[in-house]
Amino acid sequence: MRDNKNFKPFTYKVDIKNEEISNPDNHIIRKLSSMKGQYMDEKAYEEMIKKEDCILYEVYEKFAPEVEGELLQGMSIVHPGKVGNEYFMTKGHFHQILDTAEFYYCVKGHGYMMMENPEGDWAAEELLPNTVLYVPGRWAHRSINIKSDEDLVTIFAYPANAGHDYATIETKGFRKLVIEENGKPEIIDNPKWK
Ligand code: F6R
Ligand code: MN
């Protein structure tokens, strides 16, 4: 949808227990195979994918016209698990229109949002139920689930015309990673960061 002249107000229900929103316009399923080269432990990745191309995370979207001023919304669900000792996480991205922000509201689970900007700053904010996270424009963002037995579920909204730049993160990675060490999450430098 490229114009919003005939776009009408709407409501939808958020079902936290079943991790669904009502009448989604899109359901994205991201599997291990879509994350090649993104995890630190490549051997663990290859061994895991040989057994099963498992689902890492899912996104339900509510569309809005892709014009300035509109908001695209949805629910993001990162499943529990690890590749080697690195937690399941989203690909992560900058917005194509870099100066566009995003609102996140965590409804279930425990995790981190890893963020960084082209100016060289990074930030990791903890996500717990009822935490609201504001990702300012210019900051790439990736959700990471640090629980071993529960999904990390967030509601998000961002400018519908923002677009996604996945390529920068696919090539460079994030500066920091969240891994499990002695049963606890630790933030470490990404040895492969370019
Ligand atoms: C949209 C946004 C989220 C993510 C979702 C999946 O701009 O940030 O809806 O799209 O959490 O992560 P990615 O898009 O990085 O695969
Ligand atoms: Mn985003």
| 8 A C-beta contact, residue 23 and residue 12 | yes
Q: Where are the domains of the chain?
A: 24-189
Q: How far apart are CA 22 and CA 194, in angstroms?
A: 41
- In short, whether 59's Cβ falls inside 6 Å of ligand 1 is yes
* Nearest atom in ligand 1 to 74's CA: 9
Angle at CA of residue 113, ends 20 and 192, nearest 5°: 125
Q: Comparing C-alpha atoms, which of 150, 24, 30, 151 is closest to residue 90?
A: 30
193 vs 136: CA distance, rounded Å = 22
Look at domain 24-189 and name its CATH class.
mainly beta
Q: What's residue 73's pLDDT?
A: 98
Spatial CA neighbour of 138 closest among 124, 157, 118: 118
Q: Is 88 in the pocket of ligand 1 (CB under 6 A)?
A: no
Q: Which of 77, 133, 156 to mutate to test the pocket of ligand 1 (most atoms within 8 A of CB)?
A: 156
pLDDT per residue, tens digit, the chain (194 aa), is 778 999 999 999 999 999 999 999 999 999 999 999 999 999 999 999 999 999 999 999 999 999 999 999 999 999 999 999 999 999 999 999 999 999 999 999 999 999 999 999 999 999 999 999 999 999 999 999 999 999 999 999 999 999 999 999 999 999 999 999 999 999 999 999 98
Ligand 1 pocket: which of 59, 63, 91 to mutate (most atoms within 8 A of CB): 59
pTM of the model: 0.98
User: Does the Cβ of 104 fall within 6 Å of ligand 1?
Assistant: no
Q: Which residues of 122-133 are buried (b: 16+ CB within 10 A; e: fewer)?
A: eebbebeeebeb
Tell me if 161 CB under 6 Å of ligand 1.
Answer: no
